[in-house]
Amino acid sequence: MAKVVSGSRARRSRTIATPTADDPIEGLMTKLLLELGEEPGRNGLLNTPKRVAKAMRFMTQGYRQDIDHLLNGALFPIEYDEMVIVKDIDFFSMCEHHLLPFFGKCHVGYLPNKKVVGLSKIPRVVDAFSRRLQVQERLTVQIAETLKKKLNAHGVAVVMEARHLCMMMRGVEKQNTVAVSSSMLGVFRTQQQTREEFLKLIRGSSVKDGG
């Protein structure tokens, strides 16, 4: 049987249970817990606002990353004119509509124009844009356009595959749906053969698969 609490008692318990916080995100989280009918002062939730504030700043650290600084010293002149691909890049992001995570794999390819970028920098660029409030379509385009501009490449291709918790936990509640988005720039857009080669390579077996 549900326990009924009188209005004055409920207001009193809400006031007592509210911890003070100098961090604005902590303060907002405390208010959210109260609105959900919880008691922020109880054991299990006592440090939750602080933890959430820390987690949110980590998951949105891309806002505080500078792409030029990230790529500084990692562009190398080279006479190499074949496709470079970094695939199966794990990423996570936050849906800007519901503040729920989406996560999956990102595949990036480019055709060099007399210079290449250090391979580890491509996942870092993916992280810099994904660790923000995002929609998958814009995220895909931002990665592609940034690499095209910074590398002056003949072409850049990006394909992202993701599961969205906003579709899995609410709304249509489809747990096995995968959203796929792509951005094809330069020769990947204008030359069908180049585009098909990229798509074939990212679908092929990986080193980790033994193939």
Check: CB of residue 124 under 8 Å from CB of residue 69. Answer: no
96 is annotated as an active-site residue: yes
Active-site position among 136, 142, 154, 161: 136
125 CB-near residues (< 8 Å, 6+ apart): 67, 70, 71, 143, 146, 147
106 is annotated as an active-site residue: no
Active-site position among 38, 39, 166, 191: 166
136 is annotated as an active-site residue: yes
Active-site position among 95, 106, 107, 154: 95
166 is annotated as an active-site residue: yes
Torsion region of 94: left, alpha or beta (phi above 0 gives left; psi -120 to 50 gives alpha)? beta
Q: How would you write the chain as a 3-class SS string?
A: CCCCCCHHHHHHHHHHHCCCCCCHHHHHHHHHHHHCCCCCCCHHHCCHHHHHHHHHHHHCHHHHCCHHHHHCCCEEECCCCCCEEEEEEEEEEEECCCCCEEEEEEEEEEECCCEEECCCHHHHHHHHHHCCEECHHHHHHHHHHHHHHHHCCCEEEEEEEEEEHHHHCCCCCCCCCCEEEEEEEEHHHHCHHHHHHHHHHHHCCCHHHCC
95 is annotated as an active-site residue: yes
Active-site position among 26, 134, 154, 164: 164
Active-site position among 97, 137, 175, 196: 97
Active-site position among 98, 145, 191, 197: 98
Point out the residues that are catalytic: 95-98, 136, 164, 166
